[in-house]
Amino acid sequence: MDDKPVIVERTFSAPVEIIWKAITDKDEMKKWYFDLKEFKPVAGFEFRFWGGKDENNQYLHICKITEVIPGKKLTYSWRFDKYEGMSFVTFELFPEGKKTRLKLTHSGIDSFPASNPDFSKKNFTSGWTQIIDTSLKEYLE
Confidence at residue 46, expressed as pLDDT on a 0 to 100 scale: 98
| Nearest one of 16, 38, 18 to 26, comparing CA atoms | 38
| Nearest one of 100, 83, 82, 80 to 92, comparing CA atoms | 100
pLDDT digits (tens, 9 = 90+) for 38-63: 999 999 999 999 988 778 889 999 99
Confidence at residue 1, expressed as pLDDT on a 0 to 100 scale: 52
pLDDT digits (tens, 9 = 90+) for 111-130: 999 999 999 999 999 999 99
Is this prediction's pTM over 0.85? yes
Separation CA 77–CA 108 (nearest Å): 10
Express as a percent the part of the chain with pLDDT over 90. 89
Q: Which CATH number fits domain 6-140: 3.30.530.20, 3.30.70.20, 1.20.59.20, 3.90.228.20?
A: 3.30.530.20
Confidence at residue 54, expressed as pLDDT on a 0 to 100 scale: 77
Answer for the pair 60, 48: CB distance below 8 angstroms, yes or no. Answer: yes
Separation CA 45–CA 34 (nearest Å): 17
